[in-house]
Amino acid sequence: MEKSWKEAIKRVLKESDVPLHYTEISDHILARGYYATDGATPAATVNAQLSSSVKHDGEKSPFIRVGKGIFALRGVAATAVALLHEPKAETPVVEADEESSDSIIHSFGMYWQRDLVVWRSDLKMFGKQQALSKPVNFGKQKGIYILYDHHTVVYVGRAIDRPLGKRLHEHTVDRLGSRWNLFSWFGLLDVTQEGNLRESPFNSSLAALVATLEALLIESLEPPQNRKRGDDFSAIEYIQDIDPELKEREIQNTLRSIEQKMRGGA
């Protein structure tokens, strides 16, 4: 295990034959056990480490940026890739801390399962950036959501006055109650390193708003000819994590089953 995020990042990039996106780098770090963290936003931390090094250390940084969110170790192979992405003379160079999108969507979850949530008015909906990162409760998230009957869209709604968890809970008992089993959501609130939700200053350009709308449509409709979410869409996807209460129920059911079998065999 490495002593810092920076050393872990260097190790992953050294082992890779190609430049990697910062989310891939954080995936490899956690999966290979190169660095341990109890934070909820490892991908964001890796991005911050890389961007800060590139901006403040300049040519002394061991990293170079070769694309949007994509980094490599400084070296011959990495430099060759960087030249392919080098902006033309008339194109202004974007500073490292300006690379992040001003998209109004900060996080999202796709095709989360209804039966992995304990449905109540103050429900908790857990998601992780990566399998080994700290879970985040998105019950108080605000934004847009989509309900599906399997992969068929049956309803699109917004959660602003009432948080996402409350709006979804209402749809378990209203006219849509029996018509959906999956849901996706796109959140306006940012996630802190500690795993809390917070409002961020709204500072979005027209171009960013258009990019966000494009990305939302691509994610929800999944047109076959679109191979990416959309330019300038940097929201982090969270994978669903089962509610701990459901895990506890499963454990208790398993123990009761074992106890019954033992009594039957006695």
pLDDT-wise least confident of 75-79, 111-115, 123-127 = 75-79
- Asked if residue 114 lies in contact with residue 182, where contact means CB atoms within 8 angstroms, the answer is yes
pLDDT tens-digit readout, 114-154: 999 999 878 899 999 887 788 999 999 999 999 999 989 99
Q: Is 209 exposed, middle or buried (0-12, 13-18, 19+ CB in 10 A)?
A: middle
Map residue 237 onto helix, strand or coil: strand
User: CB–CB of 111/148 below 8 Å?
Assistant: yes
pLDDT at 86 (0 to 100): 52
Instruction: Please give the single-letter amino acid code of residue 90.
Output: E
pLDDT band at 92 (very low <50, low <70, confident <90, very high): very low
> Which residue did the predictor score with more confidence, 101 or 30?
30
Mean pLDDT in residue range 152-169: 94
Q: What is the DSSP string of 160-225?
A: SSS-HHHHHHHTTTSTTTTS-SEEEEEESSEE-TTS-EE-------HHHHHHHHHHHHHHHH--TT
**pLDDT surpasses 50 at 235:** yes
